[in-house]
A and B are shown apart, each in its own frame.
Chain A
Amino acid sequence: NAGVTQTPKFRVLKTGQSMTLLCAQDMNHEYMYWYRQDPGMGLRLIHYSVGEGTTAKGEVPDGYNVSRLKKQNFLLGLESAAPSQTSVYFCASSKDVQPQHFGDGTRLSIL
């Protein structure tokens, strides 16, 4: 039982490049989330999904897109990366009103 798995763990991009971060959970959770963590800012919610085929905007959605084609996967896309998107990205999942389970994070640097 792996829990929440994020790939890749590290990535360096150039400004303007695109990429997709993958989050996979094997706990059959309905809800999935993408957060970013920046120094002095704490964790902020980017997008979330309450079920397969659904997505919704969080606090800081601009510059990101998401998809939830399969219940176990939640993808976060950066269409045109900007230096302001340098951050540590965390995926989380939960079921009903239970606490969220977090992945180990993806460290993304944009030059």
Chain B
Amino acid sequence: SQELEQSPQSLIVQEGKNLTINCTSSKTLYGLYWYKQKYGEGLIFLMMLQKGGEEKSHEKITAKLDEKKQQSSLHITASQPSHAGIYLCGADRSWGGGADGLTFGKGTHLIIQP
């Protein structure tokens, strides 16, 4: 079965600094999703990557999927308190668009210090 490893497990960053979270797969990724979860709440979809080398940005968050489709990174520029939370990467369990659900990494806890 596919496993996703996220690093780091936790991250404390001073407000205004940049940061990167990584997600590494044991197998080729069919589809890779980044979600954000605030403590005690549900998951909010951030971005979806499907093609090797693909890069997407939304506001100050950029996600990339490497050419071999086994690693993705999430980069936040000029971090703000609103970026604090748990970041989760998820991957399609099989080829075909993920109808049979996602496998998730264990998450990265991000704390932004003022």
Contact = CB atoms under 8 A, between A and B. Distances in A.
A104 B41 contact: yes
A90 B43 contact: yes
B105 to A, nearest CB: 6
B82 interface: no
B63 interface: no
A99 B41 contact: no
Contacts of B106: 40-42
- Secondary structure at chain A's binding surface: helix, strand, loop or mixed? strand
Contact of A97 (B31, B45, B107): B31
A109 to B, nearest CB: 14
B48 interface: yes
B42 A42 contact: no
Contacts of B90: 43, 100
Interface residues of A, number: 27
A90 B42 contact: yes
Interface string B38-62: 0001111100100000000000000
B1 A59 contact: yes
Interface in A32-88: 33, 35, 40-45, 48, 50, 56, 58-59
B48 A48 contact: no
Contacts of A31: 99
Given A42-B104, A50-B99, A94-B98, 15 more contacts: A4-B42, A42-B88, A42-B105, A43-B88, A50-B100, A59-B1, A59-B103, A90-B42, A92-B43, A96-B97, A97-B98, A99-B45, A99-B48, A101-B45, A105-B41
Interface of B: 1, 31, 33, 35, 41-45, 48, 88, 90, 93, 97-107
Interface of A: 4, 31, 33, 35, 40-45, 48, 50, 56, 58-59, 90, 92, 94, 96-97, 99-105
28 contacts: A31-B99, A35-B101, A35-B104, A40-B106, A41-B106, A42-B104, A42-B105, A43-B88, A43-B90, A44-B104, A48-B100, A48-B101, A58-B100, A59-B103, A90-B42, A90-B43, A94-B99, A97-B31, A97-B97, A99-B33, A99-B45, A100-B33, A100-B45, A100-B102, A102-B44, A103-B42, A104-B41, A105-B42
